[in-house]
Structure formats: C-alpha cells, structure tokens
Amino acid sequence: MESALKITRIIEAPIALRSNISNAYVNFSQHTVSLLAVVTDQILNGKPLVGLSFNSIGRYAQSDIINKRMAPRLLQVSPDALLTECGSRISPEKVLACALKNEKPGGHGDRAMAASALEMAIWDLNAKLHDEPVSVTIARHFDRPGRDEQVAVYAAGGYYYDGEASTKLIDELKHYQQMGFTRYKIKIGGADLASDLKRIDAALTVAGTASNLAVDANGRFDLQTALEYGRALEPYGLMWFEEAGDPLDLELNAALSEAYGGALATGENLFSHQDVKNLALFGGCRPGKDVFQMDPGLSYGMTEYNRMLDVLESRGFNRRQCYPHSGQLMGLHAVSGFGLGGSEAYPGIFQPLGGFCDDSRFADGFVRVPDHPGFGFEYKNALLQAFQQLLA
C-alpha cells in the first residue's frame, strides 16, 4: 500500500548565535545551532508540508550526526514504517527509534541533540497537519486533560558581558520588567563570591524579593566552593540555586542538598531518562522543593522527555517541579502540553532562536501560549527568515 504521508527530504544547516556573552564556563560568540526541516509529499495550503525545528540553544550544531547517520536512516526506511497506527501521521516514537538504529545505549551527548532536532520536527509537522499548536498535540498524544493556556515564565539573562558596567545588569533586568516579567535568573560563578553577591544585590533592586530571583553557576563549582556559595546564598531565600557542580556529580548535589535549605535546580545537561533516574535516586533531590530542568530539545525530543516525567513521578516527584532549560518556543509548548511548572524565556539574547513569537505578550510573570499551528516559528520573523533561507 502506498504511504499516505512520506518524508521526501531532510535539510539541515548550522546557524550562528548572535550573542557575545559568557556564563561561568563558556562564551557563546562562536556557538552554532542546527536548523532542520523535514519535508513531506503532503500538500498543505498549496505547499509541501514541512516540519521545522532546531536542537535547542547553548550547545553546537550537529550537522554530521544528522546528515551522515540519522537522516539517511529515516530516508531509507519504508515510509509506512514511520507512520502511526492510523496511518495519518508520522510517529515521533518511530522516527526516534529509526534515527537511533545501530546506536549503542549510553553516551548521551551530541547524539541526543541531533535526534531531538529530528523528533521535534515531527511534532511541528503533525501539529500543522491538524492546524493546531504543538502543545495541543502533546496533550492529546500523552493523554493529558489538555494544555495549559498560559504558563509562568522567568527571564533568563544576567550573563557576564564584555566590558560590563556596574549598571548593565540592572538595565537588563529593568527591560525585562517593562516587558511584563516578574521573575529573573542571573549567572554566578564567573567572578569571585564577593563580586557575585554584589550582582545579586543589584538584581534584587529590580526583582524586589529574593523569591523572584534564581542564580545559575553552570556547573562551575567543586563541592567546597558549592558549599561556600550555599552558605552565602541561603539567607537570601532565592527562587533556586542552579547547577552548582558538574551535572553528573550526584554526590556533590546530594551533599549540597543536605547543607542548603533552599531550592536547588539541575538537569539541563542530563539527556536520557536513565540519567534522570540516577538523579532522582542518588542526587539528593527533594520532592516539593527542588527543580528539574531537562530540555526536550537537547534530550531526544518529547518522546524521551515523557519517559523522564514517568521516572520522576514514579519516585514521588511532581511534574510541576519541572522548568525546562530552553528559553524558546519548543520548550514553551512542552511546558504547556505536559503541564509543567513554568518556562524559561530568552527575551533578548540568543537570537534569532531565543524567545517566543513576535506577538507574545508577558503580564504579571505569565505568557499566553501561542495558538499558531506547530511551534509557531513562522510568527517569529527573524527565525522565519532563517528557515526560509534553509528551504530556498
């Protein structure tokens, strides 16, 4: 039987981030991201139906893994083998399994990001096929009662800028405040403790209360330094203290959770449900307090992310403790469709990928989830232009 829906081309190209900023570990001026388009033989509104995606933000493009390993597997398999049981849509689960054929388990690094770019494009494609937002598609696919129409957001920024002036951080957060944000996250660990505490004090002149401010060390600290920072930070009562040490150093995270009374956040650099299982079992995470930040755009896509949620909930954690790293539209739809705690946002950095649709509006720390078909990339003009160049 001839396939009702067939992938005809997979197009990938790297795009540079327009961000000369630094966290405690890296400068992003040379970072790239894989833009990806999955083209089908289905005609929609007079044009071939195309699913769009990218492999999240803050790592590197995965061109070779996609173009030399994973895309050929999808293009060589029988089209029917990738369809859902009803035959009307392409199955994200089957696409992921096909992309990972002949890949050994473990080693969840760049391969996870390459696979997620492919899997996420299928969600965009299927949602467009049904003229609905991806968040609606997610909720229905995973038997959720429905998507969250609006979600809590926080503005992620507060990086270390070249030649940073003392007022730079305050001006940046005030800009986010004027946009409608009430909660913020800034970087620590790129300076000494005394300097970082001054940055926190400056940020609080805008945030108002420490419960509206999170700090992120990006895995910079050893245990002794993490504990030192913890002792200095705990009196503030911050929203959370993020990724104090290496993300796979579960012993460090567990020791810090015993010593630090506030909320800890980690997980953005864990790319599989097995890694999340280990974090839940051995990382000292506390139900109702700590925050999980796994990003489906970095970790094999929505299919694997749902497995992560199953792991957490089976061990007494609530999915409302999940605030995915992302800061872009794919993460926003994941938060809405899966019913998570809230979304990171990059309202002014990591362009053209960071942030949401051009018509998105923030009020009192919330944003309404877009109703545009798919992820809504077509309603973010600078990103739309990048995808148009990809498809030209």
Q: Which residues are catalytic?
A: 187, 325
Helix 110-129 and helix 134-141: axis angle, to 10°? 100
What's the distance, CA 278 to chain centroid? 20
Count of C-beta atoms within a 10 Å radius of residue 195: 11
Contact 375/329 with Cβ under 8 angstroms? yes
Encoded tokens for 120: 């996420």
d(CA 261, CA 144): 33
Measuring CA to CA, which residue among 113, 128, 119 is closest to residue 64? Answer: 113
Count of C-beta atoms within a 10 Å radius of residue 50: 21
The DSSP secondary structure of 330-385, one letter per residue, reads: HHHHHHHHHT-S-EEE-SSSSBTTSB--TT--EETTEEEPP-SSBT-GGGSHHHHH
DSSP designation for 34: E
- End-to-end CA, the chain: 32
Q: Are strands 291-292 and 264-266 parallel, antiparallel or unpaired?
A: parallel
Longest dimension (CA), the chain: 69
d(CA 305, CA 188): 28
